[in-house]
Amino acid sequence: MNHLDPQRHVRGESQYLDDVPEQQGTLFAAVYESPLAHGVLNGLDLSAAQRSPGVVRILTAQDIPGRNQIGGIVPDEPLLAEGHVHFRGQPVALVLARTEQQAHAALKLIQADIEPLPVITDPRQAAAQGELIVPPRTFRIGDSAGAFAGCAHVFEGVAESGGQEHLYIETQGAYAFPTELGGVKIISSTQGPTAVQRHCAVVLGIGMHQIEVDVTRLGGGFGGKEDQATPWGCLAALGAFLTKRPVKLVLDRMADMRMTGKRHPYSSDFKIGLDQDLKILAYEVTYYQNAGAAADLSPAVLERTLFHTTNAYCIPNVTAAANSCRTNLPPNTAFRGFGGPQGMFVIESAITKAAEALGVLPSEIQRRNLLREGDLFPYRQPAEGCHAEQAWDTAAELFDLDGQRAAVAKFNQDNQLFKKGVAMMPICFGISFTKTFMNQTRALVHIYTDGSVGISTGAVEMGQGVNTKIAQVAARTLGISINRIKIESTNTTRVANTSPSAASATADLNGKATELACLALRERLLRHASTEFAVDYEGIIIENEQVLAAGIPAETTWEKLVSSAFVRRVALTENAHYATPGVHFDASTESGHPFAYHVYGTALTTATVDCLRGTYTIDSVQIAHDFGQSFNPAIDRGQIEGGAVQGIGWMTLEEVSYNNEGRLLSNSLNSYKIPDLYSVPAVLDVHFLDTPGHPNAILRAKAVGEPPLMYGIGAYFALRDAVRAFRPGTALPLVAPLTPERVLGALYPEFVTVGQLAAS
Ligand code: LUZ
Ligand code: MOS
């Protein structure tokens, strides 16, 4: 079964926000952004812009009829700046004009009177000044302070990881239409239709029932549209509500890069203690998360960092403290992995530092400390169905770790100016929203009288193939062809109060709700068949569109079953609710069972560094991954490949850079590099481990969205290994991304100093 959409994508038939035909009278919106990162907003001069050709109206905070508030977790974020500006790119005013060009032309005529205030871009500086988004949190198990005393080896260090631009192909946007009862319908490029609906209702001061949000598909999200599609939806809705005309707002690429938040950069202190046998006895870590100017999802991201503090390892004594630090950058947000990768980078850094100091391979420490069945995570959920060792050992054997190491050693002996490196990267990722209440959704399934089926759920298709999977689940459960099934747009009037499509849980949650609805419909139809044909209900099945049981006529097809059920007034619609069983968490003790299950795997990565130039290639990434029982290996493999490459980008090429005034320097694809086809490893193997899956996973096929991103961390350590082959024994900073500039600096520390991009 292939992904259902790509053929339509390639033919240009798939409908995105910008493909919606424009209604007559549509106004085009453009956002006036704060030109400074921090300051007092004394006034706005809109007069010239208001006289500009085509301008119909310019909206500011004063025009908001409800509350000027779109904070998702903490109410600390205005839709339009009021009194102060807190980051460069913060929306201050909205120009509505007859054409997009006229709206953009008018932006240039707006003058803001802003009194500058000091700008903070560094999270540690923010923490030192008490600028925390929420109080710090600490996860604790055992007694780390006490355990260090008994350690043979103790190492300390600092690790830093950078931001990451989502770079969804479709930029942020929304198209809003006034509706007849004073409400608004919004077509939004969002992962969270309900989030857009809820915040629009607050901003407009009307009920959620007056707001309808509809999503057909997104051209990518990666977390960037989990919370941060909301401002554009609200701004378009505000325009439509006040002017009674349709309003379309689409960000161009550079505006999107300037105005939206990214993956959180982290700066972290770590301390790791091992015994003689390389068992990790104690680990302490303090994270400083660069949250940007408002909370957005930062507290939840911070929490997921804590949940992934020890990656795939069992460490008996852990203290992990986390600070979410307020800076004058655009609010950072969800990004595939959601804080997990940042936490895992630090423990891998600590292990590598220890290994380098002890003169052993990092893999010796890694392998010795992998989780086993029943081991406790620092939040006291046991590892259940643990495949950490199986994944590692399979990868090591199947991909011949020893042989590859020997070949690399030989290569490094034979070559002076090119060096190769190797790294193993185990992963363990928890599946579920960490906020237990978010693990719920619904599915609405209609069987039409001709036997075709329409399905609505809370799932948003963003390229990940969730619609294909839901259609497969329905086809299997009902025993019919997938060609009869249509997955409808995601719409808040059909499925309400949904969580965003996020946390790798979308196929599990919405697939399970669909399965429940289809099971109920199947049972109803089979009961009808048993009455109609006077046969025992227990023996009847539907298979390949045939209704089968002794006593049922051979020509009884799905279509006949459905039409006869309709005539007998059997309900052909079902609405099912699914809530993940067994998940709970108590924040007062920082313990519980937050995850439905964990996903495991291991990647073996090799890289080659050109030691004259600092350039490099990631040669191979070979992965043994725990899919459970995949029912769509094509889609699932694609997620692993894409995630691994996106993770490699985060760890190597992609450098989000702001200057000290909070201005984004990496503001286009000239200065922000992402992996392209040429930087994908020539060898990218994905082995499907033989694992049973989990009953909470849809059809026992485990979640695949976020876990593979963290395989990319292996690329960082493979490069580091290669650099150390050129300069044995050198102490390298643990700073990511390891760009070619940083590699050159590491190869020639006496000649090359790596600073920031020059301010342009
Ligand atoms: N969003 C969220 C997420 O609200 N909670 C989560 O735990 C999460 N995890 C990953 C990605 N998005
Ligand atoms: Mo995501 S980071 O699961 O939107």
Amino acid at 379: Y
**pLDDT at residue 729, rounded to an integer:** 87
Candidates 515, 519, 545, 541; CA nearest to 530 is 541
* Whether 96 contacts 237, CB under 8 Å: no
For β-strands 137-141 and 55-59, DSSP reports them as unpaired
Query: Is 473 within the bounds of a domain?
Result: yes
| 104 and 222 part of one domain | yes
| CA of 505 relative to ligand 1 center, distance in Å | 9
Q: Select which of 156, 364, 706, 750 is catalytic.
A: 706
- pLDDT at position 350: 98
In this predicted structure, what is the pLDDT of residue 758?
42
Q: Are residues 745 and 631 in the same domain?
A: yes
Q: What's the gap in Å between 431 CA and the centre of ligand 2?
A: 12
Distances (CA, A) of 273 to 319, 379, 730, 735: 12, 20, 22, 21
Residues 101 and 225 in one domain: yes
Which residue range(s) make up the domain with 49? 6-118+166-259
Same domain (yes/no): 625, 760? yes
- 504 CA distance to ligand 2 centroid (A)? 7
Residue 388 CB coordination number (10 Å): 28
Ligand with smallest separation from the Cα of 224: 2
Task: Identify the pLDDT of residue 626.
Answer: 98
**pLDDT score of 759:** 39
Q: Which atom of ligand 2 is nearest to the CA of 223?
A: 4
**Statement to judge: residues 255 and 302 lie in one domain:** no
Residue 739 CA neighbour count, 13 Å, CB half:
17
Q: Which atom of ligand 1 is nearest to the CA of 304?
A: 7
**Domain identity same for 274 and 215:** no
- Quickly list DSSP for 481-549: -GGGEEEPPEETTTS-SPPPS-TT-HHHHHHHHHHHHHHHHHHHHHHHHHHHTT--GGG-EEETTEEES
Q: How far is the CA of 219 from the centre of ligand 2 (A)?
A: 15
Best mutation site among 168, 263, 302, 336 for ligand 2 pocket (most ligand atoms within 8 Å of CB):
336
Task: State the Cα–Cα distance between residues 677 and 683, nearest whole angstrom.
Answer: 13
The helix (H) or strand (E) run that includes residue 393 is helix 388-398
Q: What is the CATH number of the domain that holds 228?
A: 3.90.1170.50
Ligand nearest to the CA of 438: 1
pLDDT value of residue 755: 59
Please say which residue of 238, 259, 280 terminates a domain: 259
Q: 565, exposed or middle or buried, with CB in 10 Å at 0-12, 13-18, 19+? A: buried
Amino acid at 492: T
Give the count of domains, the chain.
4
Residue nearest to atom 4 of ligand 2 (CA): 223
The pTM assigned to this predicted structure is 0.97
Cα-to-centroid distance, 338 and ligand 1 (Å): 6
What number does the ligand 2 atom closest to the CA of 336 have? 2
Instruction: Confirm if 381 and 593 have CB atoms less than 8 A apart.
Output: yes
Which pLDDT tens digit goes with each residue over 438-448? 999 999 999 99
For residues 545 and 539, give the distance between their C-alpha atoms in angstroms, rounded to a whole number: 16
588 in any annotated domain? no
Determine which helix (DSSP H) or strand (DSSP E) holds 257, and give its type and residue range.
Answer: helix 253-259
> Using a 6 Å cutoff on CB, does residue 296 contact ligand 2?
no
| Strand locations in 106-226 (E) | 111-116, 137-141, 153-161, 173-178, 184-188, 211-215
Give the pLDDT of residue 568: 97
Which residues of the chain carry a pLDDT beneath 70?
Answer: 754-760
Which ligand 2 atom lies nearest to the CA of residue 505?
3
Written as six digits, the tokens of 151 are 């350690």
Q: Could you identify the residue written with the tokens 């996106």?
A: 646
The reply to whether 99 and 36 lie within a common domain is yes
pLDDT, tens digit, for every residue of 485-533? 999 999 999 999 999 999 999 999 999 999 999 999 999 999 999 999 9
Domain annotation covers residue 374:
no
Domain boundary among 343, 369, 395: 369
Instruction: Pick the ligand that lies closest to the CA of residue 646.
Output: 2
Which residues pair with residue 446 across a beta bridge? 454, 573
Decide if 586 is inside a domain: no
* Residues 742, 693 share a domain: yes
Check if 115 is active-site. no
Instruction: Tell me if 493 is assigned to some domain.
Output: yes
CB 293 within 8 A of CB 330: yes
Q: Of 232, 259, 286, which residue constitutes the final position of a domain? A: 259
> 188 and 151: one domain?
no
Rounded (10°) CA dihedral 535, 541, 544, 545: 50
Token readout for 82 is 């009021």
Judgement on whether residues 675 and 555 belong to the same structural domain of the protein = no
Burial 534-553 (b: 16+ CB within 10 A, else e): ebeeeebebeebbbebeebe
Q: Output the six-digit token pair for 477.
A: 């459960």
Residue 535 and residue 550 in contact, taking contact as beta carbons nearer than 8 Å: yes
DSSP class per residue in 420-454: EEEEEEEEEEEES-SSGGGSEEEEEEEE-TTS-EE
Could you identify the residue written with the tokens 């020890």?
310
The verdict on residue 633 lying in a domain is: yes
Ligand 1 atom 6: the closest Cα is on which residue? 433
Q: Is 212 found in the same domain as 92?
A: yes
Same domain, 233 and 315: no
In CATH, what number is assigned to the domain containing residue 495? Answer: 3.30.365.10
